[in-house]
Amino acid sequence: MKVRNILMALFLWIVLATHAENYPYRSDYLWLTVPDHADWLYQTGEQAKVEVSFYQYGIPRDGEVKYEIGNDMLEGDKQGSVKLKNGRAVINMGTRKTPGFRDLRLAYALDGKKYQHHVKVGYSVDKIQPYTQEPKNFEAFWQKNLRDLEQVPMSYTKELAKEYCTDKMDCYLIKLQIDKMRHSMYGYLFIPKNAKAGSCPVVLTPPGAGIKTIKEPLRNKFYAENGFIRFEIEIHGLDPRLPQSAFEDATRAFNDANGGYLANGLENKDIYYMKHVYCGLVRCIDFLTSLPEWDGKNVAVQGGSQGGALAIIAAGLDKRVTQCVANHPALSDMAGYVEKGRTGGYPHFNKQPQILGNKDCLNTLSYFDVVNFARYVKADTYLTWGYNDNTCPPTTSYAVWNTLKCKKESLLTPINEHWTSEDTNKNQMEWIKAHLVK
């Protein structure tokens, strides 16, 4: 196991004077928040202090900063204000008695506008454990579903997508049947130009949350350019060539504020919407490993947010997976909010009390939560997450990380919210390449 801490706050201090690009794009304003522990991590019982600075045009501003402090994703339990002197002040965030994260939320009023920022620090993060427990028949439930999948013949269509072909790769639009109910998934398949039989590792890339097209299919063309076959999919059976208005209509119709597709059928694990999605991941791997160009050894899964969750789930379900890469995985410890003072994962069902107050829904969630699949992952695994993420909070990323028992590496980017850089994305491909089974 290897952990690499990227101390982004310190980096910002070092390069502030020389690189204007440290500011948010075309913004005249900049917050800097620097915890007194360089890695933003503390032990339970330790006091965390954060130096806060606010700049306009690179010049420190004095004034009053109002703040509140609360546990990760939960309401604030402490409020106050400090005066910036020479643009700076120190705020004591206090501590936690239990492992987890605290969030310092800042607000500064200037020229009639309000500027907000936040920073999270962790306490005894290596001891964060999930609330979600594994059902006794979890493994049997999924084995039965995969046996049922084996009875469904492989069926797909393949169409050349000329608009995404280059001199280094060919691209095909695939429509793949994923179960006996004739659910399908679409995906763009990228294959290195003139690839020889048995020469290419395969990479399955599931999508982030939402009902949407496959955006910018060429943004990850570096996989095929480096010898990988990459299959980037959607999960709702919608042709990615449909106009944007069609996806917007589908979102309004089926992805409402009550949880959308991620709440559809939650009362019963056998009809829950995500069951065919999870099984579909295995059918996608069936498809990829049927390609004559597959090297016969390497099956990687890679994604972020919901896609990161589905990557871990695929690795837990299918022993053919040899490398797993996930950014800030969603669908992790989703029921965590049931315990007072505890943080849960996306899609944050604490906003739907009719779900977390329903024993049948909670039972179903336990069969579909990432932490219970993480226990079964055997593939080499690489995770990355940021502490300031309010979509897939660091508390639940640590719950997954601490559950994994496989060979694993992590890239910690404390300052990151719900995003990764282009360099991080390319380095993930290099990580897979370095961990290929020879």
Bridge partner residues of 359 (DSSP): none
Q: Determine contact, residues 230/291, Cβ cutoff 8 Å.
A: no
389 included as an active-site residue: yes
* Peptide bond just before 135 cis, omega within 30 deg: no
What's the rounded Cα separation, in Å, for the pair 267 and 259? 13
Residue 378 corresponds to which tokens in the numbers above? 């055997």
Question: Counting beta carbons within 10 angstroms of the beta carbon of residue 196, is it exposed (0 to 12), middle (13 to 18) or buried (19 or more)?
Answer: exposed
Mark whether 72 is an active-site residue. no
In the block, residue with structure tokens 């055997």: 378
- CA angle at 425 for the pair 18 and 31, rounded to the nearest 5°: 40
Pick the closest to residue 328 from 388, 284, 282, 373 (CA basis). Answer: 388
How is 265-328 classified by DSSP, letter by letter?
TTT-TTT-HHHHHHHHHHHHHHHHHHSTTEEEEEEEEEEETHHHHHHHHHHHH-TT--EEEEES
User: Encoding tokens for residue 82?
Assistant: 């400090």
Judge whether 363 and 269 are in contact, CB under 8 Å. Answer: yes
3-class DSSP state of 54: strand
What's the rounded Cα separation, in Å, for the pair 76 and 68? 6
Interatomic CA distance for residues 410 and 381, integer angstroms: 8
418 is catalytic: yes
The active-site residue out of 236, 276, 418, 435 is 418
**Considering 332, 389, 397, 410, which one is annotated as catalytic?**
389
Active site residues: 305, 389, 418
